[in-house]
Amino acid sequence: MIEPEDPKQPEEPEQPEDPEPTDPREHSAAWKELQKMVGLDNVKKEISHLFNAKINHHSGIQGRDVIPMSLNRTFVGGSGVGKTTVAKLYGKIIGELGLVSKGEVIIKSPSDLIGAVIGKSEANTKEALEEAVGNVLIIDDAHNLYQGTDSYDPFHRAIIDTLVANITGKPGEDRCVILVGSDDKMEELFRERNPGLQRRFCGEDPLHFEDYNLDQLCEIFDTKLAEDGSLVSDHGRRVVREMLARAQVRPGFGNGGYIENLLLRAKLSQRQRLEAADIGNFKAPYEKQVLEAEDFDKDYDRISRADCNRDALFDEFVGFDKITKQFREFQQMANGMRRMGVDPRSYMPWSFVFKGPPGTGKTSTARKVGKLFYDMGFLSTDEVISCSAASLVGISSGQTGAKVISQLEKGLGKVLFIDEAYRLASDPLNISSINFKADAVGELVDAMTKPRYAGNMIIILAGYSEDMERLLSSNQGLRSRFPTIVDFPHMDSYSCLLLLKQELDKAKIGIEIPGLDEAGDEQWKEMFGVLEKLKGTKGWANGRDIKTLAKKVIADLYIKVGQASAETEIGPLVVSGDEAVKFLQDTLLERQGNSGRRRILL
Q: Identify which of 520, 508, 513 has the alpha carbon closest to the alpha carbon of residue 498.
A: 513
Sign for the CA dihedral angle at 509, 510, 513, 518 comes to: positive
Q: Are residues 238 and 116 in the same domain?
A: no
Q: Are residues 196 and 311 in the same domain?
A: no
The Cα–Cα gap between 173 and 154 comes to 28
Confidence (pLDDT) at 528: 84
Confidence (pLDDT) at 596: 45
Q: Are residues 332 and 475 in the same domain?
A: yes
Q: Are residues 169 and 199 in the same domain?
A: yes
Cβ neighbors of 266 (< 8 A, separation 6 or more) are 291, 295, 296
- CATH code for the domain of 81: 3.40.50.300
Length of the chain: 602
| 8 A C-beta contact, residue 30 and residue 96 | yes
Domain containing 240 equals 214-296
Which amino acid does the sequence have at 580?
A
Q: Where are the alpha helices (DSSP H) in 24-119?
A: 29-36, 41-47, 53-61, 83-96, 110-113
| Its pTM surpasses 0.75 | no
Q: Are strands 207-209 and 176-181 parallel, antiparallel or unpaired?
A: unpaired
The Cα–Cα gap between 361 and 384 comes to 15
Exposure string (b/e) for 454-471, b if CB count within 10 Å is 16 or more? eebbbbbbbbbbeebbeb
| 8 A C-beta contact, residue 89 and residue 62 | no
Confidence (pLDDT) at 375: 86
Q: Identify which of 370, 375, 369 has the alpha carbon closest to the alpha carbon of residue 335.
A: 375
Q: Are residues 136 and 254 in the same domain?
A: no
Q: Where are the alpha helices (DSSP H) in 177-320?
A: 183-192, 196-200, 214-228, 234-247, 256-276, 293-296, 306-313
Question: What are residue 352's DSSP bridge partners?
Answer: 460, 484
DSSP single-letter state for residue 391:
G
On whether residue 47 sits in a domain, the answer given is yes
Q: Are strands 290-291 and 573-575 parallel, antiparallel or unpaired?
A: unpaired
Q: Are residues 123 and 173 in the same domain?
A: yes
| Rg of the chain over all Cα atoms, to the nearest angstrom | 35
534-573 pLDDT, tens digit each: 888 888 888 888 899 999 999 998 998 998 888 888 888 8
Q: Identify which of 536, 528, 538 has the alpha carbon closest to the alpha carbon of residue 500.
A: 528
Q: Name the strand (E) or helix (H) holding 548.
A: helix 543-563
Cβ neighbors of 585 (< 8 A, separation 6 or more) are 530
Question: What are residue 388's DSSP bridge partners?
Answer: 419
Question: What are residue 417's DSSP bridge partners?
Answer: 386, 460
Q: Are residues 83 and 48 in the same domain?
A: yes
The Cα–Cα gap between 350 and 457 comes to 7
On whether residue 336 sits in a domain, the answer given is yes
- Run means of pLDDT, 10 residues per run, the chain, 602 residues: 55 56 79 92 89 53 59 90 94 90 92 89 92 93 79 80 86 88 84 80 85 93 90 93 87 89 93 77 60 90 70 69 86 90 91 91 89 88 92 85 92 94 77 74 92 92 92 89 92 86 91 59 79 86 88 91 86 86 88 56 36
Cβ neighbors of 87 (< 8 A, separation 6 or more) are 75, 138, 140, 178, 180
The count of C-alpha atoms lying within 13 angstroms of the C-alpha of 582, restricted to the half-sphere facing its C-beta, is 14
Confidence (pLDDT) at 187: 84
Strand order in the sheet with 207-209: 105-108, 136-139, 176-181, 73-77, 207-209
The Cα–Cα gap between 539 and 66 comes to 81
Q: 3-state DSSP helix/strand/coil percent for the chain, to nearest 5?
A: 50, 10, 40
Which amino acid does the sequence have at 282?
F
Q: Are residues 285 and 162 in the same domain?
A: no
Which amino acid does the sequence have at 341?
G
Q: Are residues 260 and 139 in the same domain?
A: no
Torsion of CA 295, 296, 302, 305, to 10 degrees: -20
Q: 446, 471, 487 — which closes off a domain?
A: 487
Q: 440, 463, 487 — which closes off a domain?
A: 487
Cβ neighbors of 194 (< 8 A, separation 6 or more) are 160, 161, 164
On whether residue 96 sits in a domain, the answer given is yes
Sign for the CA dihedral angle at 158, 160, 163, 165 comes to: negative
The Cα–Cα gap between 378 and 413 comes to 8
Question: What are residue 137's DSSP bridge partners?
Answer: 106, 177
On whether residue 511 sits in a domain, the answer given is yes
Q: 296, 315, 349 — which closes off a domain?
A: 296
Burial bucket for residue 416 (CB in 10 Å: 0-12, 13-18, 19+) = buried
Q: How far is CA 80 from the centre of its chain?
A: 15
The Cα–Cα gap between 532 and 448 comes to 42
Residue 253's CB is within 10 A of a number of other CB atoms, namely 21
217-254 pLDDT, tens digit each: 999 999 999 988 889 999 999 999 989 988 888 888 88
| 8 A C-beta contact, residue 408 and residue 448 | no
Question: What are residue 384's DSSP bridge partners?
Answer: 415
Mean pLDDT of the residues in the chain: 83
Residue 380's CB is within 10 A of a number of other CB atoms, namely 21
- CATH code for the domain of 270: 1.10.8.60
On whether residue 9 sits in a domain, the answer given is no
**What is the number of structural domains in the chain?**
4
Q: Are residues 165 and 245 in the same domain?
A: no
Q: Rounded to 5 degrees, what are φ and ψ at 185?
A: -75, -35
Q: Are residues 136 and 174 in the same domain?
A: yes
On whether residue 476 sits in a domain, the answer given is yes
Cβ neighbors of 60 (< 8 A, separation 6 or more) are 66
Burial bucket for residue 325 (CB in 10 Å: 0-12, 13-18, 19+) = exposed
Query: Could you tell me the CA-to-CA distances from 294 to 186, 239, 289 in Å, in that order?
Result: 40, 9, 14
On whether residue 382 sits in a domain, the answer given is yes
On whether residue 7 sits in a domain, the answer given is no
Q: Are residues 136 and 222 in the same domain?
A: no
Q: What are the DSSP calls for 180-191, one per residue?
A: EE-HHHHHHHHH
Cβ neighbors of 359 (< 8 A, separation 6 or more) are 491, 540, 541, 542, 543, 544, 545, 546
Confidence (pLDDT) at 544: 87
